Amino acid sequence: MNGNETEGHVDDLLAPYALDAVDDAERARVEDHLETCAHCRRELADLREAVVGLSDGHELAPPPGVRERLLEQVAAEADVVRPLRRRRGPQWVWGVAAAGLVAVGAWGVWQVFDEQLTAVDQVVQAQDAVRHEAELDGVPVVVVTSAEQDRAVLEAADLPDLPAGQVYQAWFVREDGVIDSAGVVADPASDAALEGDPEGSTAVALSVEPEGGSEQPTSEPVVAIPLEG
Amino acid sequence: MSPPPDLDLGELLRATAGGDQQAFALLYDSTGARVHGLVVRILRDHAQAEEVTQEVYLQVWRTASSFDPTRGSARSWLLTLAHRRAVDRVRSAQAQSDRDQAYESRHDRPAPDPTAEEVEHRMQGQAVRSAVQELGPPHQEALELAYFEGLTHREVSERLGVPLGTAKTRIRDGLRRLRDQMGGRA
Ligand SMILES: [Zn+2]
């Protein structure tokens, strides 16, 4: 098939690539090329079907515990994420959020006013204050809610820095799947009162949004804090 | 003629992408042995393989929407993901040194642990086995070193003591011949 070794194609690397038998530099080269070359994409799809045949006959049932743990974990994630997915469609993938931050767009900043600083104290010191916690890349992210105050506070957290023009925005994920903005987080390193009433929410989610925030999330959530109870 | 299995898997993946947990469970039930068998074959360690299989399906749950049917079948997407994950694990420094020691002791004959081997033998139909075996030793060996040992094509050439070009050719021609042989099979 030397006739196919057209300069610029990656024919000699496609088969090793289909087997993951390439180093990182080669993988990058192949993937760059695939972006623009339908011929090589077709060839790769073809080779990958052959690769499927390599593991024919090696079937081995996983230990039963795997299924149980998976379904549990998936159910836990779905409780938080399903409303987001339903709303945004399948392109709004939770997985990338779990893997870390994905930067998008360009953004602005919103001020923390004195009125909101006061609200922080009112919520955090409320008799019925409840702390809800999740993790983002090992960093705890805490939301405090108070039904009495009808407010929620996002506690100061060491969130990853965002590129200029991008900002964290908080969202109330309602039981019925509606997603309401809870405001742009001007400074994650300070406690911030969220806009709106947390009542009827299953979670507070954070996403990275463009300047000034968005009416609805335009990127994947980077973390969701379930509001249990 | 039964419906093409990949049609169903594609549907299950699509539903999974939409957050359908039942579809995800069905997907797991119909492909778990396939994925786990591959992962065990690569890692040769049941505890690690169990972890990786679980990671693979979590990744499936979270990234099912990135499956693009125009770029290949659902089965191929799934196995690609599983293989990549297992090979990443193998290539991590610790795993590699462990495996190198294991390799010294078993020479060039792949020896899965007894449990896996026993199950494999039980499940391997002659017909299934033959597609790869029919390629003949040089191609089969190159493909299996690359796919199951997690070696790069460069490492395959070193392991086999043949020039890089020869290793590449064996991998490429082996895969193409395998594809041609599989052409008539379900
Ligand atoms: Zn090309």
- Assigned token pair, B186: 């379900």
When mean pLDDT is compared over A214-218, A224-228, B96-100, B175-179, the highest value belongs to: B175-179
For chain A, the domains span 7-54, 82-226
The candidate with the shortest Cα–Cα distance to B169, out of A226, A80, A12, is A12
- Cα(A24) to centroid(ligand 1), Å: 19
Cα angle value B117/B123/B129 (rounded, 5°): 90
- Cα(B177) to centroid(ligand 1), Å: 21
What pLDDT score does A81 carry? Answer: 52
Residues in B touching A82 (Cβ below 8 Å):
19
What pLDDT score does A80 carry? Answer: 59
What pLDDT score does B103 carry? Answer: 57
CA distances in angstroms from B132 to A56, A100, B143, B147, B153, listed in the order given: 9, 40, 9, 12, 18
Radius of gyration of chain B (CA): 17
Sign of CA dihedral B124, B128, B131, B136: positive
Sign of CA dihedral B152, B155, B157, B163: positive
Question: What's the whole-number average pLDDT of chain B?
Answer: 81
CA distances in angstroms from A206 to A75, B9, B18, B135, listed in the order given: 20, 32, 20, 53
Inter-chain CB proximity B33 and A21 less than 8 Å: no
Q: Are A107 and A167 in contact (CB under 8 A)?
A: yes
What pLDDT score does B102 carry? Answer: 63
Q: Are B37 and A59 in contact (CB under 8 A)?
A: yes
Inter-chain CB proximity B182 and A96 less than 8 Å: no
**Helix or strand (DSSP H, E) at A206:** strand A201-210
Residues in A touching B73 (Cβ below 8 Å):
49, 52
Single-letter amino acid code for the residue at A199: E
**Beta bridge pairs of residue A139:** A136
Does domain B114-181 fall into CATH 3.90.1150.10?
no
Q: Which of A129-133, B48-52, B139-143 has the lowest mean pLDDT?
A: A129-133
What pLDDT score does A90 carry? Answer: 35
Residues in A touching B18 (Cβ below 8 Å):
85-86, 90
Residues in A touching B148 (Cβ below 8 Å):
54
Which phi and psi angles does A201 have, rounded to 5°?
-105, 145
Q: Which of A100-114, B46-60, B115-129 has the lowest mean pLDDT?
A: A100-114
Position with higher pLDDT, A81 vs B147:
B147
Cα angle value B179/A47/A95 (rounded, 5°): 135
The C-alpha atoms of residue A87 and residue A174 are separated, in whole angstroms, by 11
CB atoms within 10 A of CB A114: 8
Mean pLDDT by 10 residues, chain A (229 residues): 54 93 93 92 92 91 94 81 42 34 26 46 81 83 87 86 82 83 86 87 86 81 79
Closest chain B CA to residue A71: B25
The C-alpha atoms of residue B174 and residue B180 are separated, in whole angstroms, by 10
CA-based nearest distance A70→chain B, Å: 7
What pLDDT score does B124 carry? Answer: 45
Does domain B9-107 fall into CATH 1.10.1740.10?
yes
Instruction: Answer left, alpha or beta for residue B42, where phi above 0 means left and psi between -120 and 50 means alpha.
Output: alpha
Q: What is the mean pLDDT of residues B74-82?
A: 95
What pLDDT score does B107 carry? Answer: 47
**3 state SS of A193:** strand
Share of chain B above pLDDT 70, in %: 74
What pLDDT score does A122 carry? Answer: 79
Position with higher pLDDT, B126 vs A74:
A74
Task: Tell me the DSSP string of B114-159.
Answer: HHHHHHHHHH--HHHHHHHHTT-HHHHHHHHHHHHS---HHHHHHH
The C-alpha atoms of residue A162 and residue A169 are separated, in whole angstroms, by 12
For chain B, the domains span 9-107, 114-181
Q: What is the pLDDT of residues B18-44, one digit of tens each?
A: 889 999 999 999 999 999 999 999 999
What pLDDT score does B32 carry? Answer: 96
Confidence of residue B84 (pLDDT cuts 50, 70, 90): very high
What pLDDT score does A67 carry? Answer: 96
Confidence of residue B125 (pLDDT cuts 50, 70, 90): very low
Q: What is the pLDDT of residues B164-174, one digit of tens each?
A: 999 999 999 99
What pLDDT score does B166 carry? Answer: 94
What pLDDT score does B130 carry? Answer: 57
Q: Is B116 on the interface with A (CB under 8 A)?
A: yes
Single-letter amino acid code for the residue at B39: V
Confidence of residue B100 (pLDDT cuts 50, 70, 90): low
Q: What is the mean pLDDT of residues B54-60?
A: 94
Residues 129-148 of B with CB under 8 A from A: 129, 131-132, 143-144, 146-148
